[in-house]
Amino acid sequence: MQIVSLSKDISLKRPIEMGNAEQLQTVKSVLADVHNRGDVAIAEYSEKWDGVKLQDFRVSIEEINHAKANFDPDLQKDLEEAAHNIRVFHEKQKRSSYEVDVENDSFIGQRVSPLDAVGLYVPGGSAAYPSSVLMNVIPAQVAGVERIVIVSPPNNQGALPNAVLVAASILGVKEIYKIGGAQAIAALAYGTESIKAVDKITGPGNVFVALAKREVYGVVAIDMIAGPSEIAIIADETAYADEVAADLLSQAEHDPMACPILLTTSDFFAHEVAHEVEKQLTKLPREKIARASIENFGKIYVAETLEDIVEAVNKLAPEHLEIMTKNSKEVAQQIRHAGAIFIGRYSSEPIGDYFAGTNHVLPTNSTARFSSPLSVDDFIKKTSIIYYTEKTWQQHAPKIARLARMEGLEGHARAVESRGWTKEMD
| Mean pLDDT, all residues of the chain | 93
From 17, 243, 253, 319, the catalytic residue: 319
Q: Is the pLDDT of residue 293 over 50?
A: yes
pLDDT tens by residue, 37-61? 999 999 999 999 988 999 899 999 9
pLDDT tens by residue, 147-163? 999 999 999 889 999 99
- 1, 275 in Cβ contact below 8 A? no
Residue 21 has a pLDDT of 87
For 346-377, the three-class secondary structure string (H helix, E strand, C coil) is CCCHHHHHHCCCCCCCCCCCCHHHCCCCCCHH
Nearest partner of 104 among 387, 309, 411, judged by Cα: 387
Q: Which residue has the higher pLDDT, 266 or 18?
A: 266
Q: Which helix (H) or strand (E) holds 187?
A: helix 181-190
Largest CA distance in the chain: 90
Distance CA 351, CA 325 (A): 19
The number of residues in the chain equals 426
Q: What is the mean pLDDT of residues 72-85?
A: 98
Q: What is the mean pLDDT of residues 10-25?
A: 68
Per the annotation, the verdict on 360 as an active-site residue is no
Residue 324 has a pLDDT of 98
**153 to 150, 209, 420: CA distances (angstroms):** 10, 11, 62
Residues facing 385 on adjacent strands: 109
Residue 226 has a pLDDT of 81
Contacts of 323 (CB under 8 A, 6+ apart): 233, 234, 235, 331, 332, 335, 341, 342, 343, 344
Tell me the pLDDT band of 18, cut-offs 50, 70 and 90. low
Residue 426 has a pLDDT of 42
- 306, 236 in Cβ contact below 8 A? yes
Per the annotation, the verdict on 396 as an active-site residue is no
Angle between helices 390-406 and 410-417 (to 10 degrees): 160
- 365, 14 in Cβ contact below 8 A? yes
From 90, 254, 320, 360, the catalytic residue: 320
